[in-house]
A and B are shown apart, each in its own frame.
Chain A
Amino acid sequence: MQTPFYTRRSFLVSAGLASVAVLAGGSFSSRAFAQSGLAPTQSMRGGSNNYRPNAPMVEKLGNGFWVHGTVRRAGDGAPLKNVRIQIWAATTLGGERAPQNHGSVLTGPDGAFRLETAQIVPNFGQPHAHLAYDDADFQTVFLRPVMPSPEDTSVRADFVLAPA
Chain B
Amino acid sequence: MILAMMVPVALAAFSPWLAYRGPAYIIGGFAGIVGLALLLAQPLLAAGLLPGARPAVERRWHRWLGWAILTAIAIHVGGLWITSPPDTVDALLFVAPTTFSIYGVTAMWAGIVTAVLVAARRRMGLRYGTWRLVHNAVALVVVIGTVVHAVQIQGAMEPVSKWALCAAVLAAALITVLGLRVVAPLVRRARG
> A residues engaging B (CB < 8 A)?
1-3, 5-6, 9, 44-46, 48-50, 90-97, 121-127, 144, 150
Q: Count A-B contacts at CB 8 Å.
A: 73
CB < 8 Å: which of A48, A91, A125, A144 contacts B20? Answer: A91
Nearest CB in chain A: distance from B113 CB, A: 24
Give the size range of B's interface with the partner. 20 to 34
Q: Are B20 and A45 in contact (CB under 8 A)?
A: no
Enumerate chain A residues within 8 angstroms of B90, measured Cβ to Cβ. 45-46, 49
A44-B97, A45-B96 are known contacts. Are A95 and B154 too (CB-CB below 8 A)? no
Residues of A within 8 A of B80 (CB): 124
Q: Which of A94, A122, A126 contacts B17 (CB 8 A)?
A: A122
Nearest B residue to A92 via CB reads B20
Using A95-B22, A97-B84, A126-B98 as known contacts, say yes or no to A3 and B163 having CB atoms under 8 A apart: yes
A125 contacts B100, C-beta separation under 8 Å: yes
Task: Show the binding face of B for A, using Cβ within 8 Å.
Answer: 17, 19-22, 25, 80, 83-84, 86-87, 90, 95-98, 100-101, 151-155, 159, 162-163
Name the residue of chain B whose CB is nearest to the CB of A94. B20
Identify which of A46, A123, A124, A126 gathers the most chain B CB atoms within 10 Å of its CB: A124
Question: Whole-angstrom distance between the alpha carbons of A13 and B59 in the complex?
Answer: 43
Complex Cα–Cα for A94 and B80 (A): 15
- In the complex, the answer to whether A3 meets B154 with C-beta atoms within 8 Å is yes
Q: Which of A9, A48, A127 contacts B154 (CB 8 A)?
A: A127
Q: A49: which B residues are within 8 A, CB to CB?
A: 84, 86-87, 90
Q: Which of A44, A49, A97 has the most CB of B within 10 A?
A: A49
**How close is A93's CB to chain B, nearest CB, in angstroms?**
7
Given contacts A5-B151, A45-B96, A90-B20, 10 further A-B contacts (CB under 8 A): A3-B151, A6-B154, A44-B97, A49-B90, A50-B84, A94-B20, A95-B83, A124-B87, A125-B100, A125-B152
6 A-B pairs within 8 Å (CB atoms) are namely A2-B154, A5-B152, A46-B97, A48-B86, A49-B86, A122-B17
Give min CB distance, B28 to chain A, whole Å.
10
Known A50-B84, A122-B155, A125-B153; judge A93-B97 contact (CB<8 A).
no
